[in-house]
Amino acid sequence: MPETRARRRIRQAVESRGYSVESLDWETPYYAGEGMGMAGGWELVLDRPCFENTHPGDDLGGLSVDELLGIIDWSIVPPEPCACYPDGRRPRRLPTHPLVGDPSEPLHAEGCKWRLDYRLPWWSQSSDPS
């Protein structure tokens, strides 16, 4: 069976950070009930944990491909530092949380080898965060 464009984008993003996809499943998003909000979407399990002190720490999820790519961008720290984050650490906030001061573009700059190509629907059309 051929790989879909969505699955290929997710797999390539994971592999670019030195991890492998253990499983990748899609479930149509649905309302999970009061206090739960939306459920379903993409469920990604990595070949090893990407979060310290978390069990199992190897699962990520998002309601859309771009949201999952944003979670991958924040969650899986690249194996080498770059000019965007010279200390090699994660940024303080997730790119998927639309709060004042949060990123309005992927975490790594254009031209950085760790940049993932995604655009979240709540980002403004301009890249100017002000």
Query: What is d(CA 3, CA 96) in angstroms, rounded to the nearest whole number?
Result: 26
What local confidence, expressed as pLDDT, does residue 2 receive? 82
Residue 93 has pLDDT above 70, yes or no: no
Q: What's 40-95 look like in SS3?
A: EEEEEEECCCCCCCCCCCCEEEECCHHHHHHHHHHHCCCCCCCCCCCCCCCCCCCC
Angle subtended by helix axes 65-75 and 5-16, to nearest 10: 0
For residue range 50-88, what is the model confidence (pLDDT) as tens digits?
887 777 889 999 999 999 999 999 889 888 888 888 887
Domain ranges across the chain:
5-75
Q: Rounded to two decimals, what is the model's pTM?
A: 0.84
Cβ contacts of 42 within 8 Å, gap of 6 or more: 10, 24, 25, 26, 61, 62, 63, 64, 65, 68
Cross-strand pairs, 43: 25, 61
Instruction: Provide, rounded to the nearest whole percent, the portion of the chain with pLDDT above 70.
Output: 86
Q: How confident is the model at residue 126 (pLDDT cuts 50, 70, 90)?
A: low
